[in-house]
Each structure stands twice: as C-alpha cells, then as structure tokens.
Amino acid sequence: MSSSPHTTLRRLLPFFLVGVAFGFTLVKGEVVSWFRIQEMFRLQGFHMYGVFMTAVPTAALSLLLIRRLGLRDEAGEPLDLPPKEMGTGARYVIGGGLFGVGWALTGACPGPFLALTGAGVTVMAAAIASAVVGTWIYGLLRHRLPH
C-alpha cells in the first residue's frame, strides 16, 4: 500500500476518534469499574447485564440493516463480520474460561485495561504488558493446544 503520511493520517483519524468516544463511554458507563464487575459476577446488580442486553441488540439490528441495504466497502466487499470457526469448540470453552478468570482477577477486560490506564489507574499498564506476554506464550504453544 503506497500512501503519503497525510492520507494515512486522514484514514486513521476516524478510528482514533471512535476509540476516544468508546473509551469515554467505558468510563461513564462504569464498565471499567472493578466494583461493577464484582457486582456483575456476584449477580447482585442489573447494571452490567443491562449494558450487554442493550449493546448486543443495537449491534445486531445495525448489522441486519447494513446487510439489508447491501452496503459495500471500497473494494466492493459486503460490509460484514468474519465468521468464527467452531472446530471442536475447545478453544472457546478453555480459552474463554481462562479469560473469565483473568477478567474476575483484574476486574477488567482489554478495553477497560486501556481506559483505566488513561483514567489514572496506571497500574493497569502492567496488566496490558502481562496480557501481551500471555498472547505471545499462546502463540508459542498454539500447535500443542486443542482448538
């Protein structure tokens, strides 16, 4: 891809701005809070479940609308999310489970790691670094794990 720094910036700026809006909403919706995550995993409050139960239908309806309108990108490909391969399903159960343990321990998932670091809980930068190491170790062990 040959593009000048100027066009690269123009292409990427919208993603940055959507990220800013997303990070701001993560904090304002208190989704980044260890206390909210505790309330969620203890099944003692509706807040987090309300977030998921409105986020998913909003995304689903938008996606159906995009498909119905037949929207396409510059290359002519339909706008859509890539399908996920089921395989044996083991990766979703085991990998998902390990992530769940990490979510409970840190009280945050990857988006909130970033938003919290910005919001002043800077120790979450250590969680990000650790997550990168975890991903790297997975990359090394990948061929030995059931998928």
Of 6 and 139, which has the nearer Cβ to another protein?
Answer: 139
CA 115 to chain centre: 12
Should residue 28 be labelled a site residue for another protein when binding is judged by CB under 8 A?
Answer: yes
First CA to last CA distance, the chain: 33
Q: Which of residues 41-70 bind another protein (CB under 8 A)?
A: 41-60, 62-63, 65-66
Q: Which two tokens stand for residue 116?
A: 């919290």
Should residue 133 be labelled a site residue for another protein when binding is judged by CB under 8 A?
Answer: yes
Tell which residue, 23, 36, 29, 22, has the closest CA to residue 104: 36
Should residue 3 be labelled a site residue for another protein when binding is judged by CB under 8 A?
Answer: no
Site residue total, another protein (CB under 8 A)? 115
Q: Which of residues 93-132 bind another protein (CB under 8 A)?
A: 93-111, 113-124, 126-132
Report yes or no: 147 and 88 within 8 Å, Cβ to Cβ. yes
| Per-residue contact flags (x/-) with another protein for residues 71 to 90, judged by CB under 8 A | x-x---x-xxxxxxxx--x-
Specify the length of the chain in residues.
147
